[in-house]
Structure 1
Amino acid sequence: MNSIDPPQGTDNATSNLADAHLDLRGTPCPINFVRTKLRLEQMSPGSLLEVWLDEGEPIEQVPDSLKMEGYELEALNEQDGFFSLLVRRPTKKS
């Protein structure tokens, strides 16, 4: 994975519902949260982002941080060695 330009497409996504995919496996906290939030801000309101996160601190911290920022978590699925998080950008700011 190129640390400057993380994947933006859904080519290797585990969900065909997502509008975009972000592979953050191997990315430490809080950088993985910052990259997730930046990607969501680039997306259209109502869009769905699939984020791949490592177990441990990333999966413990990122979902809670996103909820505190007002993002809607749609699903969290354990895959083979990582977690797939589906998060939706709200249609309007609260």
Structure 2
Amino acid sequence: MRDAPSDHYLDLRGTPCPINFIRCRLALEAMAPGQHFQVDLDRGEPEEMVIPGLTREGHQVEVIDQAKDWVRLQVVCGGG
């Protein structure tokens, strides 16, 4: 999944919970199953809420880059 091109990109650094999770869900609703997007999130609560939340909804989530204060996720729409 790491080398797959992304169809969309969201920079949600500085966005509080649960708004970052909601924005990811809205982006996924507009996507077809199998499409990819990348999202940058702050470390901590955003990372801890978004990754399991999207996984529970049937999407594939992988951390593809990270720094001290943020992570970049590659998300594959599972159609859930």
TM-score, length basis structure 2: 0.85
Name the larger-Rg structure. 1
Aligned residue in 2 for 1:32: 20
Among 18, 21, 34, the residue aligned to 1:46: 34
C-alpha separation in 1, matches of 2:10 and 2:33: 17
- Give the RMSD, CA atoms, in angstroms: 1.8
Percent of residue pairs bearing the same amino acid type: 43
Unaligned runs of 5+ in 1: 1-14
Among 43, 61, 67, the residue aligned to 1:55: 43
Question: Does residue 23 of structure 1 match 2:15?
Answer: no
Aligned residue in 2 for 1:85: 73
C-alpha separation in 2, matches of 1:42 and 1:85: 18
TM-score, length basis structure 1: 0.73
Higher strand share: 2
Question: Does residue 67 of structure 1 match 2:40?
Answer: no
CA contact (8 A) 2:4 2:36 kept: no
Offset at residue 72 of structure 1 (A): 1.1
Runs of 4+ in 1 over 6 A off after TM superposition: none
